Structure 1
Amino acid sequence: MTAAYDPAAPYDTVAVQYAEFVRDIWDDHPLDRAAWTAFADSVRGRGPVADLGCGPGHLTAHLRALGLDVFGVDLSPAMIELARAAEPALRFEVGSMTALDVPDASLAGILTWYSVIHMPPAEVPGVFAEFTRTLAPGGHVLLGCFESDGGPVTEFDHKVTTAYRWPLDELASMAATAGLTEAGRMYRAHAEGERPFRQGRLFLRKP
């Protein structure tokens, strides 16, 4: 029997290097900051927010600075260890976005920033179902990904582990099937030093 693929293992291996790489990576991207701010404005004061695939916690900390009651979840124990060391005042947990250890309808918001990209396409509908289960009515999701420029889902050679580019239309359709409505979307061109792919941001809401 073939052993199940463990997506956390590659990130455990490069955790320290990755944390250094992403520390200031989005400082020069005002559109990304605008997306995080819009998300924060939608969920602030309404309850806890989960940063799924939080890595070393840099965006978790940013959301806390924007006034959110936020905690981070990541599959990689090494990433969680770094996040706890960097942000000891915040809560970080090892866990999977397909089986979150939170009650039904308990979250005001979910950030998943370049973490769904590592899910095999067949598992993504289950991810959205878990978002629907855990979000309170009126809760919001902000999803960031590499966009496929309108083409099909496309696997590409990510520097750490297998990843996929997604058309936002397909992600929005899967989310709708799971009970989430599209609240908006954004695109931006790749910046210098980034993969030469268009970047997509999808805003979702649980009615």
Structure 2
Amino acid sequence: MSEPLDVAATRNAYDTVAADYEELLRDELAQKPIDRAVLGAFAEYVVASGGGEVADLGCGPGRVTAYLADLGLDVFGVDLSPGMVGVARAAHPELRFDVGTMASLDIPDASLAGVVAWYSIIHTPPERQAGIFAEFARVLRPGGWLLLAFQVGDEVVHLQRAYGHEIDLHTRRQSPERIRELLEGAGLAEFARTVREPVAPEKSAQAYVLAVSLHA
């Protein structure tokens, strides 16, 4: 099956910006206490449910992967962009990073204690998101935890310049209620939701959804 054009465009965009993206966002979490609190809550729930491997899907340069590792999680990263994976490996050589796609993960069924998709569902067209969530559900063990982060809204933003580079990338804002329905359809129950107002240079509210796998 041929790869969707938007997937190739997303890969190319992130390959282009990888080094500058890592440098510009390296310390971003230090300025965002709510983001850190959400990641901390996710880590606590994973540990309380017995621990195990966690996948940071769409990990980019690995800053969230590294933060979760510092919280004590056994975490690895996966990203569509070989450029981002190369930057992540250089920045965090003690951690594992793989090139892969969220639509077809090279991860065994029911093997993960947790999945994080931190602003990584935002490039997938709505008609393919159900398949992404089904793949998250497949790799999570029963009672495993999923954490999503995304921008709130219904707009599609076409980025033509970002991080100092000319690119061609579409970012889709999301309805939290629609995401909840898609999660339920995949056997993932929303457990908690947090929405905060934008912090410059953000243009929209930011949502964080914690869900748990109901699969037996």
Tell me the secondary structure at the aligned position of residue 31 of structure 2: coil
Give aligned-pair identity as a percent: 46
Q: Spell out the pairing of 1:193-204 with structure 2 (5 A cutoff).
A: 193-194=201-202, 196-204=203-211
Aligned residues: 202
Residue 26 of structure 1: CA displacement? 2.3
Q: Spell out the pairing of 1:104-183 with structure 2 (5 A cutoff).
A: 104-148=109-153, 153-158=154-159, 159=162, 161-183=169-191
Residue 74 of structure 1: CA displacement? 0.2
Tell me what 1:33 maps to: 36
Tell me the secondary structure at the aligned position of residue 55 of structure 1: coil
Larger deviation, residues 43-52 vs 98-107: 43-52
Query: Which amino acid in structure 2 is aligned with residue 157 of structure 1?
Result: H
Q: Let me know the Cα RMSD of the aligned residues.
A: 1.6
Residue 189 of structure 1: CA displacement? 0.7
Flag as ranges the 4+ runs of structure 1 deviating above 3 A. Answer: none
Compared with structure 1, are the counterparts of its residues 2 and 112 closer, same or farther at alpha carbon in structure 2 (3 Å cutoff)?
A: closer
Query: Which amino acid in structure 2 is aligned with residue 55 of structure 1?
Result: G
Compared with structure 1, are the counterparts of its residues 169 and 2 closer, same or farther at alpha carbon in structure 2 (3 Å cutoff)?
A: closer
CA distance in 2, matches of 1:32, 1:81: 25
Task: Establish whether residue 205 from structure 1 lines up as the match of residue 216 from structure 2.
Answer: no
Residue 27 of structure 1: CA displacement? 1.2
CA distance in 1, matches of 2:140, 2:180: 17
* TM score, norm. by length of structure 2: 0.90
Task: Establish whether residue 97 from structure 1 lines up as the match of residue 102 from structure 2.
Answer: yes
Unaligned runs of 5+ in 1: none
Q: 2:25 aligns with which of 19, 22, 27?
A: 22
Tell me the secondary structure at the aligned position of residue 148 of structure 2: strand
Q: 1:43 aligns with which of 42, 46, 51?
A: 46
Unaligned runs of 5+ in 2: none
Tell me what 1:191 maps to: 199
Tell me what 2:79 maps to: 74
Compared with structure 1, are the counterparts of its residues 78 and 206 closer, same or farther at alpha carbon in structure 2 (3 Å cutoff)?
A: same
Larger deviation, residues 42-51 vs 112-121: 42-51
Larger deviation, residues 37-46 vs 49-58: 37-46
Q: If each structure's strand is expressed as a fraction of its own residues, which one has the higher value?
A: 2
